[in-house]
Structure 1
Amino acid sequence: MTEVNPEPAAAFQELLLGAEELQAYLSELAVLTLTLLGAQVLGCSLMIERPRRTRAEGHSDDRAARMAGPVFADGGPAAEAIATGTSMVVTDAWTERRWHGFPGSCAEEGVRSLAAVPLALEGTARGVLCAFSPRPHLFQPLTLRLVERTAAEASRTLRLALRIDNHLFRARNLQAALESRTVVDIAVGIIMAQNGCSQEAAVEILRSVSNTRNIKIRSVAAGVVAAVSDRVRTHFEE
């Protein structure tokens, strides 16, 4: 099997510099990992889990995405690798019986052996790298260590990628909150002008309509603003 690139860290870092968002970076990372692991590996997939965030996945190609389905499923080998912090190896998918629902469609895609290696991430983030092969018994100790070393290198840049993604996530939420507050403030001003009432009374009108219609107060406010002028903008430039 081809040995890992002597400078994989540089390759992973180069990918990160050109990444625009986490999902695309994971896919590019899976492609690079496949290249580093050699021709006997059929595909690679990565999966990241974080509390209150949508699961993020990246695959070296569409076939790898299909292969990863049963592997990433609840109670599958990837979930056990994450839970235990230990690499899970399937020596032959045709005879594997440890996990309910596995191998499933994984074997139909040509997978005979695989390695699911946990990623070393930060905080509450958890992840796994999976490598698939059409050969049974491929992931013996030497080959498994190669996958684990590659996962360790990938983890270093993934930790940085997740920090960046978390900062962007918070920034987007803050921007959305500011825009929402601005729409409500404008609507309150419109209601005050139309009804000759106080700010407190205008806010109470918005709340009453929100409760009666069972829709968010921001949506009610946006309707008030739109009814007056479609030229009012509440967009914050970055």
Structure 2
Amino acid sequence: MTSDTAGQPRWLAEFQELLLTTGTLQQFLQEAATRTVAAMAGVSCGITVRTTVEQYTIASSDAYASGIDQIQYHHGEGPCLDAITTGVIHPIPDLARETRWPRFTAAALARGVRSSLSLPVGGTDPVGAINLYARSPRAFAAGQRAQAIAFTSTITGAITLAIQLAQQQQLSADLLQALETRAVIDQAIGVLMARQRCTPAEALRILRRASQDRNVKLRAIAATIVTGISGTPPANARFHPR
């Protein structure tokens, strides 16, 4: 590895700059995968993230890596999935001698994989894994394996933070959508209160009953009522997070 004038590995400085300059999580992780293989020649890299319902490859250095990741998802077994589940690094020095994941092993060998290294992202509660695949056995022995671990440890914090920020952004978007939906429902409740001379609770029950009887979402029923009065579809209220 090359170093800058302060003795810091050049790839570390590049990743620090990358974290500051990339605009999205996807861009950052794609660049991370690409630069991983640039720093460790002869390997392919896939980055897996875990959601509450599935695992998927969010970025990869090439189609080869994402294809090997997909084999694990399809069969529900493999070093990547175990790394995420256990939080433990899973090296495979020689896939031809591996017995823990027979379906993954057979399919990966057929595609030329001979060794791999799966490293959990996120400490004791992993949010994903970085997967390195090589076409030669023992590609991650000794120095190169130590290099891979050090490299991954350096970017793990950044990846974890990026994923958490993306999840928070999604939560904020979901909240804003819920608030906008509620605003339309409140408008419809006001219309029904004036028409039916009823309380807010009674108006809401009318809306819910209509939604169930017609098998239509509550917001759609509310929007129809508001449109019938105003002549135009209701405008979503705009809520801006601080």
TM-score (norm 1): 0.83
Displacement after TM superposition at 1:124 (Å): 4.1
Q: How does 1:168-187 map to 2 (within 5 A)?
A: 168-187=169-188
Q: How does 1:68-147 map to 2 (within 5 A)?
A: 68-72=69-73, 74-119=76-121, 121=122, 124-147=125-148
What secondary structure is seen at the aligned counterpart in 2 of 1:57? strand
Q: What amino acid maps onto 1:12 in structure 2? A: F
Q: What amino acid maps onto 1:152 in structure 2? A: S
Query: For 2:239 and 2:83, how far apart are their aligned partners in 1?
Result: 43
Displacement after TM superposition at 1:157 (Å): 0.9
What secondary structure is seen at the aligned counterpart in 2 of 1:116? strand
Query: For 2:111 and 2:225, how far apart are their aligned partners in 1?
Result: 55
What secondary structure is seen at the aligned counterpart in 2 of 1:225? helix
Query: For 2:127 and 2:239, how far apart are their aligned partners in 1?
Result: 33
8 Å Cα contact 2:120/2:126 also seen in 1: no
Displacement after TM superposition at 1:104 (Å): 4.3
Q: What amino acid maps onto 1:113 in structure 2? A: S
Displacement after TM superposition at 1:66 (Å): 0.6
Query: For 2:37 and 2:228, how far apart are their aligned partners in 1?
Result: 55
Question: Where does residue 205 of structure 1 map in the other structure?
Answer: 206
8 Å Cα contact 1:70/1:104 also seen in 2: no
Point out where structure 2 has 5 or more consecutive residues left out of the alignment.
none
2:46 equivalent to 1:45: yes
Alignment identity in percent?
27
Query: For 2:123 and 2:193, how far apart are their aligned partners in 1?
Result: 49
2:67 equivalent to 1:29: no
The structure, 1 or 2, with the larger RCO (C-alpha pairs under 8 Å, 6+ apart) is 1
8 Å Cα contact 2:46/2:57 also seen in 1: no
Question: Where does residue 10 of structure 1 map in the other structure?
Answer: 13
| More displaced stretch, 205-214 vs 89-98 | 89-98
Query: For 2:153 and 2:174, how far apart are their aligned partners in 1?
Result: 31
Q: How does 1:154-233 map to 2 (within 5 A)?
A: 154-228=155-229, 229-233=231-235
8 Å Cα contact 2:89/2:120 also seen in 1: yes
Displacement after TM superposition at 1:128 (Å): 1.3
TM-score (norm 2): 0.82
- Matched residue count: 234
8 Å Cα contact 1:30/1:59 also seen in 2: yes
Query: For 1:166 and 1:37, how far apart are their aligned partners in 2?
Result: 30
Provide Cα deviations, 1:107-153, integer angstroms capped at 9, x if missing partner: 3433221111222x268443211111111221112211111111101
Compared with structure 1, are the counterparts of its residues 125 and 113 closer, same or farther at alpha carbon in structure 2 (3 Å cutoff)?
A: closer
CA RMSD of aligned residues (A): 2.8
8 Å Cα contact 1:129/1:151 also seen in 2: yes
Query: For 1:139 and 1:128, how far apart are their aligned partners in 2?
Result: 16
What secondary structure is seen at the aligned counterpart in 1 of 2:117? strand
Compared with structure 1, are the counterparts of its residues 114 and 55 closer, same or farther at alpha carbon in structure 2 (3 Å cutoff)?
A: closer
Q: What amino acid maps onto 1:30 in structure 2? A: A
Provide Cα deviations, 1:161-207, integer angstroms capped at 9, x if missing partner: 13322331221122112101101111112223444443333212101
Query: For 1:226 and 1:123, how far apart are their aligned partners in 2?
Result: 52
Displacement after TM superposition at 1:95 (Å): 4.3
| More displaced stretch, 108-117 vs 66-75 | 66-75
